[in-house]
Chain A
């Protein structure tokens, strides 16, 4: 049973990358330079705590008011814990460095 679920389960939270031009980042910089944009994706099922389970139960039993329920997440999020800068030459021959634009490490937080 477990192995079947493991096979079917999506990949855990990890670093993924995508080749794209700086312009495609949508930060207002115009450059055809291709960079490797790294981001975090994946499931955080394995790192659920008692908190998450309890909260899920609460929500399931409708013990929380609707307002509170909307905002309460009962599963950790896959997010970057460290970032990387990107340095490039734009199409007008100016160098730029953008801080914290690409992920370096991921974790379920």
Chain B
């Protein structure tokens, strides 16, 4: 009876909040066209090349930037004039998409102009990537219902974490999920065999890893990377995900600022690092400490760094606490020790990243632990259009539009043990009062029923 009541409330909430979201903001829910429409930098430079005035300035600008620092460039009148003209064109506002065709070329175009706009020595650089569609509570709730129906509906996706007697190894479950999906299995097998060859070819290993992360749905890759662990064996498996002996570790640990310098010389690495800093930067404005409380954006930006010189990983197989770092240290920093420590802290002591990873892990436990046939059965029937749309391939298909919110909040009864993911935080993050109100009502009823 109680379950039925909650299931009903969930549906009610879903329907209402869909109405709210569709009326209040049309931009974020229809994520195929993110609010400010960015021109990609390849298009922008093509357009520039069509106009004789723009193309000549663009050429001058690029020449100006070769081998010169910012100040000496500005000292040159011609360079300054070129910059002023270019600031009026689409080139300044252009962005790139993650995993787009000719991504590298796009990023090169981006930096060829933005190198001149920033000081070049900034601690944080703006991300050249299009902002991700924000992940909203409504989407999360909707997907949760799909997931719960998948987990209880077909026995295939059942994890042994739902079995209270057995020990739960979430990372092993994530591997199983990947092995049962043909694409994930093939891509995983591909990067593992590349990275475990007798002679480690780091470049090729990194490339295979990037390919894996690009081509595999994030519900699988995130599951492997961010599973939460209760024992060391699990944590070691999590640490081993990217084959650290080849992709991560090296004979020597370089200085972090030196590594950053190397990374910034490569437009790809530089862009991914800027993206990480944009989406995982700690801020005091939000309770989650993530920009806009968007955990998904931070996790995406983090995975974007894997396969670059700045590849981050878990430092050890500690299951009670985890520490993440690129392969570098702050030894031999000289007078830049403070800056180096600051840089490293964004990985090691980043509460935003930490919360995002932990929230991802707890979501999985909740969804897989659900043995709630009543709610599972009632949800898909009530949202037939949604289930039809997103419930086709392999039982569950993560909607590509929304990114990867495939393992989301499911069982709203019993969230007390994880404070970061409590409803009050969500409401702040989403800044939608109606939804917050509805959700607290739901929780009140849920708790009362308990």
Q: Residues on A close to B: CB < 8 A?
A: 19, 32-36, 85-89, 91, 93, 95, 97
For B196, give its contact among A19, A33, A36, A95 (CB under 8 Å).
Answer: A95
Report the nearest B residue to A86, measured CB to CB. Answer: B189
The interface residues of chain A lying within 8 Å CB-to-CB of B175 are: 33-34, 88-89
The interface residues of chain B lying within 8 Å CB-to-CB of A95 are: 192, 195-196, 240, 243
Chain B interface size, under 10 / 10 to 19 / 20 to 34 / 35 or more? 10 to 19
The interface residues of chain B lying within 8 Å CB-to-CB of A86 are: 189
Is B336 in contact with chain A by the CB < 8 A criterion? no
The interface residues of chain B lying within 8 Å CB-to-CB of A97 are: 189, 192-193, 196
The interface residues of chain A lying within 8 Å CB-to-CB of B130 are: none
The interface residues of chain B lying within 8 Å CB-to-CB of A91 are: 233
The interface residues of chain A lying within 8 Å CB-to-CB of B211 are: none
Q: A86 CA to B190 CA in the complex, in Å?
A: 10
Is B352 in contact with chain A by the CB < 8 A criterion? no
Given contacts A95-B243, A97-B193, contact A19 B172 (CB under 8 A): no
The answer to whether B179 touches A36 (Cβ under 8 A) is yes
| Number of inter-chain CB pairs below 8 Å | 43
The answer to whether A87 touches B192 (Cβ under 8 A) is yes
Q: A36 CA to B185 CA in the complex, in Å?
A: 10
Q: Contact mask B158-187 → A, CB, 8 Å, 1/0? A: 000000000001001001100110000100
Q: A86 CA to B188 CA in the complex, in Å?
A: 10
The interface residues of chain B lying within 8 Å CB-to-CB of A33 are: 172, 175-176, 179
The answer to whether B236 touches A93 (Cβ under 8 A) is yes
For B179, give its contact among A35, A85, A93 (CB under 8 Å).
Answer: A35
The 9 closest A-B pairs by CB, nearest first: A87-B189, A34-B176, A95-B196, A87-B192, A35-B179, A97-B193, A93-B236, A33-B175, A95-B192
Q: A89 CA to B236 CA in the complex, in Å?
A: 11
The interface residues of chain B lying within 8 Å CB-to-CB of A19 are: 156, 176, 180
Report the nearest B residue to A33, measured CB to CB. Answer: B175
Q: A58 CA to B169 CA in the complex, in Å?
A: 59
Q: A71 CA to B214 CA in the complex, in Å?
A: 52
Q: Name the distance in Å between A92's Cβ and chain B's nearest Cβ.
A: 9
Q: Name the distance in Å between B419's Cβ and chain A's nearest Cβ.
A: 32
Q: A95 CA to B237 CA in the complex, in Å?
A: 10
Q: Name the distance in Å between A15's Cβ and chain B's nearest Cβ.
A: 12
Q: A16 CA to B281 CA in the complex, in Å?
A: 49
Most buried by A among B169, B179, B240: B179
Q: List 9 A-B contacts (CB under 8 A).
A: A19-B176, A34-B176, A34-B179, A86-B189, A87-B188, A87-B193, A89-B175, A97-B193, A97-B196
The interface residues of chain A lying within 8 Å CB-to-CB of B196 are: 95, 97
The interface residues of chain A lying within 8 Å CB-to-CB of B176 are: 19, 33-34
Report the nearest A residue to B245, measured CB to CB. Answer: A95
Q: A4 CA to B38 CA in the complex, in Å?
A: 64
The interface residues of chain A lying within 8 Å CB-to-CB of B180 are: 19, 34, 36
Q: Name the distance in Å between B397's Cβ and chain A's nearest Cβ.
A: 19
Q: A89 CA to B192 CA in the complex, in Å?
A: 9
The interface residues of chain A lying within 8 Å CB-to-CB of B156 are: 19
Report the nearest A residue to B181, measured CB to CB. Answer: A36
Report the nearest A residue to B175, measured CB to CB. Answer: A33
Q: A62 CA to B27 CA in the complex, in Å?
A: 81
Q: Name the distance in Å between B54's Cβ and chain A's nearest Cβ.
A: 50
Q: Name the distance in Å between A5's Cβ and chain B's nearest Cβ.
A: 33
Q: A88 CA to B189 CA in the complex, in Å?
A: 8
Q: Name the distance in Å between B304's Cβ and chain A's nearest Cβ.
A: 24
For chain B, residues 236 to 279, give those with C-beta under 8 angstroms from any C-beta of chain A.
236-237, 240, 243
Report the nearest B residue to A96, measured CB to CB. Answer: B196
Q: A19 CA to B169 CA in the complex, in Å?
A: 17
Report the nearest A residue to B180, measured CB to CB. Answer: A36
Q: Name the distance in Å between A104's Cβ and chain B's nearest Cβ.
A: 11
Q: Name the distance in Å between B248's Cβ and chain A's nearest Cβ.
A: 14
Q: A88 CA to B196 CA in the complex, in Å?
A: 11
The interface residues of chain A lying within 8 Å CB-to-CB of B193 are: 85, 87, 97
For A93, give its contact among B185, B188, B240 (CB under 8 Å).
Answer: B240
Q: A97 CA to B190 CA in the complex, in Å?
A: 10
Given contacts A33-B176, A95-B196, A97-B193, contact A89 B233 (CB under 8 A): no
